[in-house]
Every structure is written in structure tokens, then in C-alpha cells.
Amino acid sequence: MADQHDFGLVGLGVMGRNFILNVADHGFSSMGLDTDPEKVSALKEEGANVRVDGTTDAAAFVAALATPRKIMLLVPAGKPVDAVIETLLPHLEQGDILIDGGNSYYADTERRITYLEGKGINFFGAGVSGGAKGARRGPSIMPGGSKDAYEHVRTIFEAASAKVNDEPCVAYMGRGSAGNYVKMVHNGIEYGLMQLISEIYDVAKKGIGYSNEKLADLFTEWNKGELQSFLVEITAEIFQKKDDLTGKHLVDVILDKAKQKGTGKWTSQNAMDLGIPVPTIDSAVTMREISALKDQRVAADKLYHTPSIGNDKPDAKTLGHALFFAYIVSYAQGMSQLAAADEEYNYGLDMETIAKIWRGGCIIRASLLEDIRKAYDKNPKLSNLLLDEDFIKTLKTIEGDARIVVQFAVASGIPVAGLSSAIAYFDAFRSGNLPLNLIQAQRDHFGSHTYERTDREGIFHTEW
């Protein structure tokens, strides 16, 4: 029918409304569904100049879509996704396509694929990164699952996605839950980067005495060089923002309790299941949890002596090098987890492609990702970025500055869990010999867990 729409979207909050308007802007007629009439009205009002419509009626929504229907869900992860699926199912036909664009746990995506496959419905996850503004202007999109099903929406996603060098920041990730898994690790890296930036901020302000104006200038300057990234860019903007209520810098009146929705925790938990170390991501999750203990922290602050600020204060260049060092290590940890997950879950991931689509639109976009892309293009089987010859040269040049910043912070009583973990990971990874032989001896001593030897093959046990 001529009046049927190309694309449907469920969930017309800010993110959903912006994404469907983005799709409509690119010439694809779209239909939105939400239980809230006000959100439907807001979509119609903002989309008055493009072919977009909305409704609160699920049956009318499905009937308005051309077959095979292409329906994207942008609703909170968990039970809301299952509830939407059950609402739509009575109205769908075999061959229709449901796409989960939220931050769903990858195992839930696997379950939903299997469940809907039995009903003749194609289901796949497609991580979307870029926030509300990215959804409107062009996000990075990470679809996985059925490649045939993805082909039905590929032109829509490519049109709506961000572009870098005229290349769309969207690509098929791989089989099964690959799309949601890649987005989960993306968010884990994001946790790490945000924690690292916050620690540099703490060192610069509390330890060195930088004003918010000077911090804004510093991050603005950093964003012109090797640290160029979305997170550095917005951090500079944050330091410039004044509070409408008090006239103070807004950042100074924001409570120091960082919330989380679970993707960082999931990344850490799954990394442990895979046996892959991601300590910078782990520490970022831990620091958000510590931040929630505000009352306890305030009480403890009165009970313990805080060391005096050290005399050898690092300069701006040293701070920048420390942040860049930790940036590289955080990306390295996340990418190594993706490589391990690819082997474990048989996703068929292409690491170069992942780095490529992360260069634009997403929250962790950074000029560094082009160097990461090149590393995997040069060696698709690269197990860890720390083994790439170009990154080796860079890290050797700046690792000393990272140590200087951490030494200063520790001596001054400034918590730098992320920066410290990045250096510890780097030192452990580059150590041909670790003291874990002692741990294995202890395990054999108290539990007869056996050990291997350095001088001969086999499994051994000693009566200690």
C-alpha cells in the first residue's frame, strides 16, 4: 500500500524520538509507537515537515508498516523489552523483523532470538551509541544477529548513522548477540575513559590548584591533539558552564555520586567469565560504587589524616601524557575482551570494523580509534593492542609521565584507581615473570591443587 511506512520505532522518549526523526530526515517514512499520548504528540509536532506519524495503538502501528515490517525497540533493557515483544506479537507476521536498539544484556538477546525464531520472527540486537544528540544527528550503530534480516534495514541504518570520511559508522557485527555484546564492551570502555578523565581532573584541581577556567582551556587544548575525543571535548564544555541558580560553576554544585545502569558491571563480570583482565574498567565500576557511599565517605574524611600535597607537581604536558597512556590501555583491555568473546561465542567479529564504526557518532569516539583501526587492519589476529609496534613506540614514550602523575597522586592522598590500574595492567602484561608462582605454591600447600614447573613438563604436587 502506498501509505505504508518504511520503518517503525517503539519508545518515543528523547532517544527514540530523535532516532525516528533522523530516519525520516533521510527520506524513510516512519511510524512511532508509545503508550504516552504526549510523546506521540511531541513526535508529530517535531516531525511536521517530514513523513513521520505516531500512535498509541499497537495494532494500528503494525498495520501501518510495509512488509516485512522493520520495527526497532528503544525501551529500557530487561522486562520492558519482553513486554513490548509480547504486545506486538499478535499483530506480526512471519518474516517481520524486530530490532532491539537498547542496552540489553547479550544473554537476553540470545534468549529472544531463539524464542522469536520459533514464531517465524527475525530478532536482532543493534547497539546504538551517541546519546540523544547522536540519535538525532547520527549515532554509531552496532547490529548483530541474522545478516539476512539486517540487510532489510541496512540502507536505513547507513543513512541515519554518523559518517567519517563519508563512511557510515554502522556495520554488521556478527552472529547471535554480537551487536549487544559489542555495545556492552563499548560502554565498559566508556566507563574506563570517564573515570580516567575524572582522576586527571582531581589531580589537576585538588593537587595542583587548577581553576575551572584553566581546566577548560587545558581540555580544549588537549582536544586539538592526540587526546581528541568526544569525552575530552564535552569535559572542556562542562568546566565553562555556569549554574543558573547560583552563578557558580555547575560542576562544583553537582553531587559526587555517579549512577550506573549496568553495562559497565556486565562488561567486568563477563570479562571474569572469559578470564580476560580489564582492571581499568573494573576500577571504574568500583569507583562508582564507592561514590554511592557518600555518608560513609564524609564520616571517614573526618577521621583520617589526608597527606599534604606533594611538591613535585606534574605540568600540563605530563598530565596529558598520563591520560593518553591510560586511554590506550583502556581501549586495549576492551578490545582484548572482544577478541576473547569472539572466540568463545563464535560471533565472527571483525576488530578493524569495530574500531572503524566507533570513530564517529558514539560516546567513545576519538582520533585514537583510527590508529586502533590501522593496527587491526595490519594484523587482524592481534591479541592485544599493547603488542602493536606503533603503540609500543607511543607507550614507551609516555609511560614515564603516567608514573609521575600516579606517584604524585598517591603521595598526595588523591585516589587514582583507574590510572593506577592502567599502569599495573601494563606492568603485569609486559612482565615475563610474575610472582604468581608463590600463589600456586600456596594453593598446593593448603589444598593440594598441584602446580606446573619451569624446568620440566607435567603436573606436580608436594607434601609441604
- Asked whether residue 120 is marked as a ligand-binding residue, the answer is no
Q: Which residues of 63-94 are buried (b: 16+ CB within 10 A; e: fewer)?
A: ebbbebbbbbbbbebeeebeebbebbbebbee
Q: Which entry of 70, 190, 205, 399 is annotated as an active-site residue?
A: 190
* Contact of 203 with 414, CB cutoff 8 Å: yes
* Contact of 99 with 71, CB cutoff 8 Å: yes
Q: Which entry of 39, 70, 183, 356 is annotated as an active-site residue?
A: 183
- Asked whether residue 106 is marked as a ligand-binding residue, the answer is no
Smallest Cα–Cα separation from 20: which of 60, 55, 53? Answer: 53
> Which helix H or strand E contains 447, and what residues bound it?
helix 436-447
Residue 30 CA to residue 27 CA, distance in Å, equals 9
- Asked whether residue 304 is marked as a ligand-binding residue, the answer is no
Place of cell 613438563: 457
- Asked whether residue 147 is marked as a ligand-binding residue, the answer is no
* Contact of 20 with 42, CB cutoff 8 Å: no
- Asked whether residue 321 is marked as a ligand-binding residue, the answer is no
Indicate if 183 belongs to the active site. yes
- Asked whether residue 186 is marked as a ligand-binding residue, the answer is yes
Largest CA distance in the chain: 82
3-state helix/strand/coil string of 389-417: HHHHHHHHHHHHHHHHHHHHHHHCCCCCH
Residue 332 CA to residue 274 CA, distance in Å, equals 16
Within 10 angstroms of residue 299's Cβ, the number of other Cβ atoms is 10
Task: Return the ∠ at Cα 238 (arms to 284 and 329), rounded to 5°.
Answer: 30
Category of 67 on φ-ψ map: left (φ > 0), alpha (ψ -120 to 50) or beta: beta
Indicate if 190 belongs to the active site. yes
- Asked whether residue 241 is marked as a ligand-binding residue, the answer is no
C-alpha cell at 455: 624446568
- Asked whether residue 165 is marked as a ligand-binding residue, the answer is no
- Asked whether residue 346 is marked as a ligand-binding residue, the answer is no
Question: Would you please indicate which residues are annotated as catalytic (active-site) residues?
Answer: 183, 190
Binding region: 103, 129-131, 186-187, 191, 261, 288, 443, 449
Binding region for substrate: 103, 129-131, 186-187, 191, 261, 288, 443, 449
